[in-house]
A and B are shown apart, each in its own frame.
Chain A
Amino acid sequence: MSLIETLLLLAVAAFLAGLGGSYLGIGGGVFLIPFMTLALQINIKVAIGTGLIGVIATSSGAASVYVRDHLTNLRLAMFLEVATTLGAIAGALIGLRVPEFYLYIAFGVVVLCAAGTMARAHETAKDRAYVSGEESPLSKRLGLSSVYFDREDQGVYRYRVERPVAGFGVSAAAGLFSGLLGVGGGFIKVPAMNILMRVPMKAAVATSNFMIGVTAAASAFIYYSQGLVDPALAAMVIIGVFSGTSLGTRLLEKAKASSVRFAFAVCLAALGIAMIARLAFPGVTI
């Protein structure tokens, strides 16, 4: 495959990753990295470095739109980022010692559980409606609960953020995986917010997109300084992803929350299966 072919194919794949990433609240690394290693025969470490760049591009491209359109919960993002950045540092430090095998098992199991839970639940306007009763004292003190505008039905929804401590813990785990595997962590963050903390799906997607750029930035710089980022590949990924987010953000804002949730659950399940399959066939890189 010639260089031009590789670059063009990568740009198309990046467009799809940016599209899917901005729609689902993930970075797209989990799509791009296997594509680069399997279809384009790119070295796995360079693929991870380049994938992280793609995650940042998805994050910056999508999050900018969501923040402007009042979907993102800025305070919740900042609160959880304390956890993810700490987790990412720990992950980077520990990562050298834990055998990858255990990481993939843990990742696969968590992901499959999240997929199952998300596929079963239905998010309706009733779910999203403000639930009366006592707000968690920590949520209240931190002002986490918020409001978002849903273009699906032109409604403004107030929502409460519940179980902030549990959410914080899961985010730390997401950061840990990010530092260890080089992914953005959106696959864990969105379910943590939507299922655990009862944040409406679109607000969860928007907030996740906002957060993953930060998590990826530190790892990306480490890969860059190790000379593991290919500038031409990275350039194609950035350009492709950014175009993809322009479309993806528009789709998300108009979509039904239940459609987004279902799409997310399907992708999660596919990812979980791929993770476990990788263990059965160690020769294939994912």
Chain B
Amino acid sequence: MEDRNRLIYHVLRGGVIVCVAILLFGFILAVLTAEPIPDQTIPPRALGGELFRFTTAGYLSLGVLVLIFTPVGRVFLSLISFIGERDRTYVVMTAIVFTNLIVSLFLLA
């Protein structure tokens, strides 16, 4: 139980910290390249190119996406944890929640 709590702590906190680091990097890029601050995020499909070219928009967008996915990662971690505990009821419940998340990601996107 203690290990599981610690792991969730690190995933959630780590996710936000990684996100903030990426965001700060994006702002540093803005200062270094004297680009204007973007007001639109980059769609996921176009993200690779933007990151490769070190644009502010690309890295800020990446940071935001990392944040959005931390709760998804946390649910997935809980799923693995309940599978490990062989708690069938909670495996089913977590699987439902995870599926709902994935479904809603693709529903209107």
Contact = CB atoms under 8 A, between A and B. Distances in A.
B12 A67 contact: yes
Contacts, number: 158
Given A82-B96, A231-B64, A61 B37 contact: no
Interface residues of B, number: 53
Nearest to B6: A68
Interface residues of A, number: 48
Interface of B: 4-6, 8-13, 15-16, 19-20, 23-24, 26-27, 37-41, 43-44, 57, 60-61, 63-65, 67-72, 74-75, 78, 89-90, 93-94, 96-97, 100-101, 103-105, 107-109
A85 B104 contact: yes
Interface stretch (A153-161, A221-229, A252-260): A221-229
Contact of A78 (B15, B43, B44, B90): B90
A214 interface: yes
Nearest to A142: B89
Given A61-B12, A89-B104, A142-B89, 11 more contacts: A56-B71, A68-B6, A68-B8, A78-B94, A89-B100, A217-B71, A221-B68, A221-B105, A224-B65, A229-B64, A238-B16
The B interface, classified by DSSP as helix, strand, loop or mixed, is helix
Given A74-B78, A78-B94, A86-B100, A67 B60 contact: no
Pick from A64, A88, A213 the residue with the most CB of B within 10 Å: A64
Contacts of A88: 100, 104
Contacts of B93: 78-79, 81-82
A142 B82 CA distance: 13
